[in-house]
């Protein structure tokens, strides 16, 4: 299987690059012959299409420009599968990837024909070379609403149709700024990452992606719009505080992923209503190094979280955020931490011993 992978993401340490790398690893694992093209790289700097029809009327099939597209057009024709990946900019693909598609105009010819979708399109110059060719798109964006991704996915569907390619699948990843939340959503994120890798293996074998892997790639990372907005704002607060030149730096992702506001919100959401069916208690968590206070009011299977201290909780837990993160990840010897005084308890210590039951590890 010959695969032409065209990357349209300008940033090389961003979320699109990360997910496409997983997909590409799956392609190679499947034994596909992969030509991996970064269309945003300087070596592929393409001049814009002039709409001059030189490739139709003067020298059929040949562009007026002499640039790297001369090498790319044969690769498009030779590929069994064309895969295009892009971040979502203003509900559309990146300008570099759009320019790539515009420059495929020499592959078409004067005259119209009807596509499989029943739409009139430009005639293909060499129709035999498009037989059984597959097209796959990967789109990664920050917004949550599915409506925000319909324009770009519809564009890709029309591109596949106008170039007589079978649509092999579309991977759409929204809420990309929540991909660093590995502490609070380990299982969901593992399924998302696995979906991109498995989709690559499928594409490298059959040129198609299963409905299950497409669905897993789109698993929601926030329960609703309110959580999404809150978590997105936390992300950008960290980015602004760090004055990060790249909004996807590894340090920034680590800071966001271990933010106590996020961890405590997710902890409150993980309350086990059966385990706490008879519990009525106020739990206070204080992180002095961040000057943060979290009050959990548990009332017979329900939990209310407030971002404020209380004077007389049933249990008070005091520690630094890094200690809590280690505890959250089950990387901390709790008994030793208590002996060393890095975790301090006040009140009903029995509640502390049952926190794993009351707030079980994330299962999503």
pLDDT of residue 132: 92
pLDDT at 199: 97
pLDDT score, position 71: 95
Q: What is the pLDDT of residue 243?
A: 72
The pLDDT, as a whole number, for residue 168 is 97
**Residue 304 pLDDT:** 95
- Cβ neighbors of 157 (< 8 A, separation 6 or more) are 167, 170
Please say whether the beta carbons of 35 and 7 come within 8 A. no
Residues of the chain with CATH 3.30.1050.10: 266-358
Q: What is the pLDDT of residue 42?
A: 92
From-to residues of CATH 3.40.50.360 in the chain: 2-217
Residue 199 phi/psi, 5° resolution? Answer: -60, -40
pLDDT at 183: 65
Beta strand 33-38 with 120-124: parallel, antiparallel or unpaired?
Answer: unpaired
Alpha-carbon gap, residue 108 to 85, rounded angstroms? 23
Q: Is 2-217 assigned to CATH 3.40.50.360?
A: yes
- CATH classification of 266-358 is 3.40.50.2020, yes or no? no
| HSE (side-chain half, CA atoms, 13 Å) at 35 | 17
Helix (H) or strand (E) holding 254: helix 250-257
> Mean pLDDT in each 10-residue stretch from start to end of the chain (364 residues)?
95 90 97 95 93 94 94 96 97 96 95 92 92 96 94 97 95 90 76 95 96 95 89 85 66 79 89 93 93 94 93 93 82 85 92 89 63
Selection from 180, 178, 168 nearest residue 138 by Cα = 168
């Amino acid at each position: 299987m010959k695969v032409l992978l065209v990357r349209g993401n300008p940033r090389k340490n961003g979320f699109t690059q990360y997910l496409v790398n997983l997909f590409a690893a799956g392609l190679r694992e499947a034994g596909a012959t992969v030509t991996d093209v970064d269309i945003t790289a300087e070596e592929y700097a393409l001049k814009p299409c002039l709409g001059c029809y030189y490739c139709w009327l003067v020298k059929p099939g040949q562009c007026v420009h002499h640039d790297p597209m001369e090498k790319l057009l044969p690769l498009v024709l030779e590929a069994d599968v064309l895969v295009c990946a892009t971040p979502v900019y203003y509900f559309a693909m990146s300008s570099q990837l759009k320019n790539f598609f515009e420059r495929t105009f020499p592959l078409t010819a004067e005259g119209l024909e009807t596509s499989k979708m029943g739409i009139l399109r430009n005639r293909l110059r060499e129709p035999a070379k498009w037989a059984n060719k597959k097209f796959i798109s990967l789109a990664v964006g920050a917004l949550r609403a599915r409506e925000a991704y319909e324009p770009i996915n519809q564009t890709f569907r029309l591109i596949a149709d106008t170039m007589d390619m079978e649509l092999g699948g579309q991977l759409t990843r929204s809420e990309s700024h929540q991909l660093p939340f590995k502490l609070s959503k380990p299982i969901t994120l593992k399924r998302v990452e696995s979906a991109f890798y498995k989709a690559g293996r499928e594409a490298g074998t059959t040129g198609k992606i299963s409905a299950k892997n497409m669905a897993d790639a789109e698993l929601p990372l926030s329960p609703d719009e309110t959580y999404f907005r809150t978590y997105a704002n936390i992300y950008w607060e960290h980015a602004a505080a760090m004055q990060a030149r790249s909004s996807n730096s590894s340090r920034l992702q680590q800071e966001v992923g271990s933010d106590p506001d996020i961890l405590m919100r997710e902890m409150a959401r993980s309350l086990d209503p059966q385990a706490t069916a008879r519990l009525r208690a106020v739990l206070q968590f204080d992180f002095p190094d961040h000057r943060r206070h979290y009050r959990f009011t548990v009332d017979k299977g329900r939990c209310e979280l407030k971002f404020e201290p209380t004077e007389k909780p049933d249990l008070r837990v005091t520690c630094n955020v890094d200690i809590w993160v280690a505890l959250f990840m089950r990387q901390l010897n709790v008994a030793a931490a208590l002996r060393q005084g890095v975790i301090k308890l006040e009140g009903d210590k029995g509640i502390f011993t049952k926190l794993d039951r009351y707030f079980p590890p994330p299962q999503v």
